[in-house]
């Protein structure tokens, strides 16, 4: 039977994950159900002998399918356009819950959470289509795929008891089917590889780092064996998807990725090379004004790729061979970007753990660590990062680690000459802005703050405003010019124009903690109001000569 396009109809109007409700068409459902019943009755006569070998009688399968379709016309499962049986090539029974999960995958994860900020809609649409084509071909991969989806869905609604119960059942069935398939067919079959990959994703979505590491290492061995044997049969979209999840998980847990990025580059080299030749002339122009303090080659390469991605994503896309090559380059880059960020931060942690590190080197590595983590929050959409369940007291690991590092930076800088630390003013401003922007977004999600106002008690917002004042930046236009020397990528609200001016004026205006004046030629800022100024609660010390205990930069 030729493959036809699948149309997933909305399981529930008004669902939180659907972009827009689709109208129910009961007449289509009824006529479709009649065709299903007639076709399956005809098939039953031809396959009586085969059905006896089945673990479940065909009549029970028909009954279960009919019961899942007819009583709920608004949940009439996935329909294929045309007159063919939509379940003829489906390896699992399509119940209302399964239909809901497929709809969730196509309308939320594929379009809203997966690489939304970094690649075009065409790449994501191809990913959705090919994932469904591969995953639903056999029972092992289909059950593992549904297991990962229901785990992902339950992360968004943890209080749904029915969803939690179904998740346990889906996970149990997927694991048993995968184990049986591995015993019968070994590790070399494509369905086993797909099953292991989706089991890895289910564990990653749930935040189970132990299970994810076990399944991820198994998938890595299978992928590496296929690649070394010359088969290279893994679809590029599926490979990128696994790397993307691996990178997201590593970034959330602040660990190294399971897959090796150097090997990944070798795998993607044949399809990435044509695009790299096309964009090579743009590199000098894109990175001409990058701040000179980003001098570590691996870190500079990350920011260069981020700047190129920002440029390419904003361009108008045409259906040409060149644009398709660039689209693949963007997909590969976005799939591996979080992995590179996570691995670079692990290298930073190794350097910071050295006991013989000088104050200057420690200051430099702290700055690099804060920058790369802030970059990781930019390239990850809030939806996708929220799906990886990692909970620690006081917030997620990424925010906690950023707060810890940013608190250490000025303390270390207080022992260094201002001539050294001022070289990093621009990248510090950029790092604090990114953190403050995320902070503003979270406050507005909670309806605690309007878009045009900042929170005067927010940790990152105060540090950002203090750094802007130190650099004598008083308006958003000036701040943005400084941010663009690193990378300016702000596709989501609130835009900095809404709150930056308010944050700076609160710190420097008459209602703020005090007005600031340039104290000496080294650039130390001291409050004019002297002892009347109330100190901040968090430690924030300027990078130059020691300031008075009443300064808003000290405790």
Q: What does the DSSP 8-state code read for residue 392?
A: B
CB 242 within 8 A of CB 200: yes
The DSSP call for residue 395 is B
Residue 454 pLDDT > 80: no
The per-residue DSSP string of 397-466 comes to HHHHHHHHHHHHHHHHHTTS-HHHHGGGHHHHHHHHHHHHHHHHHHHHHTT-S-TT---TT-HHHHHHHH
Angle, in degrees to the nearest 10, between helices 190-206 and 121-135? 120
Per-residue pLDDT for 22 more than 70?
Answer: no
| Residues 383, 388, 394, 400, Cα dihedral to 10° | -90
**Of 371-385, 481-495, 504-518, where does mean pLDDT reach its minimum?**
504-518
Element (H, E) at 303: helix 297-313
Predicted local distance difference test score (pLDDT) of residue 493: 55
pLDDT tier at 383 (50, 70, 90 boundaries)? low
Residue 123 has what pLDDT?
A: 76
Q: Where are the domains of the chain?
A: 137-253, 322-532
What percentage of residues in the chain have a pLDDT greater than 70?
A: 66
* pLDDT attached to residue 206: 83
Q: Of 101, 99, 74, 73, which is closest to residue 86 (Cα–Cα)?
A: 99
pTM (predicted TM-score):
0.75
Q: Which of 388, 491, 403, 386 is nearest to 439 (CA)?
A: 403
Helix (H, G, I), strand (E, B) or coil at 136: coil
């Amino acid at each position: 039977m030729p493959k036809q396009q699948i149309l997933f109809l909305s399981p529930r109007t008004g669902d939180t994950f659907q972009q827009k409700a689709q109208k129910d068409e009961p007449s289509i459902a009824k006529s479709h159900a009649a065709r299903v019943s007639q076709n399956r009755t005809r098939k039953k006569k031809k396959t009586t002998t085969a059905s006896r070998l089945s673990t479940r009688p065909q009549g029970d399968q028909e009954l279960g399918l009919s019961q899942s379709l007819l009583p709920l016309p608004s949940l009439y499962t996935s329909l294929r356009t045309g007159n063919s049986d939509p379940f003829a090539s489906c390896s699992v029974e399509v119940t209302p819950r399964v239909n809901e999960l497929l709809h969730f995958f196509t309308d939320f994860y594929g379009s809203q959470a997966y690489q939304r900020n970094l690649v075009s809609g065409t790449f994501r649409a191809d990913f959705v289509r090919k994932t469904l084509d591969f995953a639903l071909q056999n029972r092992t991969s289909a059950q593992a795929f549904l297991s990962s989806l229901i785990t992902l869905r339950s992360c968004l609604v943890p209080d749904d008891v029915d969803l939690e119960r179904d998740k346990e059942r889906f996970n149990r069935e997927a694991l048993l089917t995968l184990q049986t398939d591995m015993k019968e067919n070994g590790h070399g079959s494509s369905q086993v590889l797909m099953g292991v990959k989706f089991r890895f994703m289910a564990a990653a979505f749930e935040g189970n780092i132990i299970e994810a590491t076990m399944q991820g290492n198994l998938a890595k061995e299978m992928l590496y064996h296929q690649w070394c044997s010359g088969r290279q049969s893994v679809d590029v979209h599926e490979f990128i998807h696994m790397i993307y999840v691996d990178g997201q998980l590593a970034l959330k847990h602040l660990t190294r990725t399971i897959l090796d990025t150097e090997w990944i580059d070798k795998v993607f080299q044949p399809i990435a090379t044509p695009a790299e030749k096309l964009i090579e002339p743009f590199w000098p122009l894109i990175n001409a004004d990058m701040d000179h303090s980003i001098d570590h080659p691996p870190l500079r390469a990350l920011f260069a790729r981020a700047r190129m991605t920002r440029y390419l994503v904003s361009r108008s896309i045409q259906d040409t061979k060149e644009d398709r090559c660039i689209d693949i380059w963007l997909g590969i880059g976005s799939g591996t970007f979080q992995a590179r960020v996570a691995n670079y931060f692990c290298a930073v942690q190794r350097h910071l753990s050295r006991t013989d590190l000088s104050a200057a080197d420690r200051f430099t590595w702290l700055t690099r660590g804060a920058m790369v983590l802030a970059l990781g929050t930019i390239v990850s959409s809030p939806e996708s990062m929220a799906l990886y369940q990692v909970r620690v007291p006081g917030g997620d690991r990424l925010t906690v680690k950023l707060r810890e590092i940013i608190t250490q930076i000025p303390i270390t800088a207080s022992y260094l000459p201002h001539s050294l630390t001022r070289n990093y003013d621009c990248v510090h401003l950029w790092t604090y802005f990114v953190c403050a922007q995320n902070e503003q977004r979270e406050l507005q999600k909670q309806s605690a703050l309007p878009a045009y106002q900042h929170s005067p008690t927010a940790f990152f917002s105060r540090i950002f405003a203090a750094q802007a004042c130190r650099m004598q930046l008083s308006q958003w236009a000036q701040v943005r010019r400084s941010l663009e020397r690193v990378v300016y990528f702000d596709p989501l609200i609130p835009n900095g124009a809404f709150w930056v001016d308010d944050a700076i004026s609160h710190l420097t205006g008459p209602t703020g903690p005090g007005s600031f004046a340039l104290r000496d030629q080294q650039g130390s800022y001291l409050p004019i109001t002297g002892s009347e100024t109330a100190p901040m609660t968090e430690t924030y010390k300027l990078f130059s000569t020691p300031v008075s205990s009443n300064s808003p930069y000290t405790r």
